[in-house]
């Protein structure tokens, strides 16, 4: 699921999200004076930057809206053993090291 898919699932118009100009401001968005949830307007408790055609934007979510999508968020982690091995091979190539992967019998 891409960030655009996540917004579609939440029913959030990407053009309504605030530009994420300074990623260091994330904790301020959900601190003592939280911004409204991008979906329902309740105080946001979670925030993250979504990468969209419009550029990086803040997606602020209250607890309920976060939990409604927690299992559907875009993941950069491989979901299969083949994906894990492919990531290891790419990391080996980037680091210029040799690694032997031995499959268990």
Q: Closest CB to Zn ion among 42 and 69?
A: 42
Site membership for Zn ion, residue 37 (CB under 5 A): yes
Indicate which single residue of 7, 12, 50, 62 sits in contact with Zn ion (rule: CB under 5 A): 62
CB 48 → Zn ion: shortest distance, Å?
A: 14
Which one of the spans 46-54, 59-67, 68-76, 83-91 is the region binding Zn ion (CB under 5 A)?
Answer: 59-67
CB burial of 20-58 (b: ≥16 within 10 Å; e: otherwise) equals beeeeebeebbeeebeebbbeeeebbbbbbbebeeeebb
Handedness of CA 18, 5, 2, 80 (dihedral sign): positive
CB 92 → Zn ion: shortest distance, Å?
A: 42
CB 102 → Zn ion: shortest distance, Å?
A: 47
Site membership for Zn ion, residue 47 (CB under 5 A): no
In the complex, which residues of this chain contact Zn ion (CB under 5 A)? 37, 39-40, 42, 62, 65
């Amino acid at each position: 699921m891409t960030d655009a898919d996540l917004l579609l699932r939440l029913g959030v118009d990407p053009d309504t999200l605030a530009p994420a100009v300074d990623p260091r401001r994330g904790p301020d968005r959900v601190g003592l004076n939280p911004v409204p949830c991008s979906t329902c307007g309740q105080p946001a408790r979670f925030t993250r930057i979504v990468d969209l055609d419009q550029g990086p934007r803040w997606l602020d979510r209250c607890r309920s809206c976060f939990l409604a999508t927690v299992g559907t968020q875009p993941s950069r982690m491989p979901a299969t053993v083949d994906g894990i091995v492919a990531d290891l091979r790419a990391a080996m190539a980037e680091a210029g090291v040799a690694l032997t992967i031995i499959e268990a019998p």
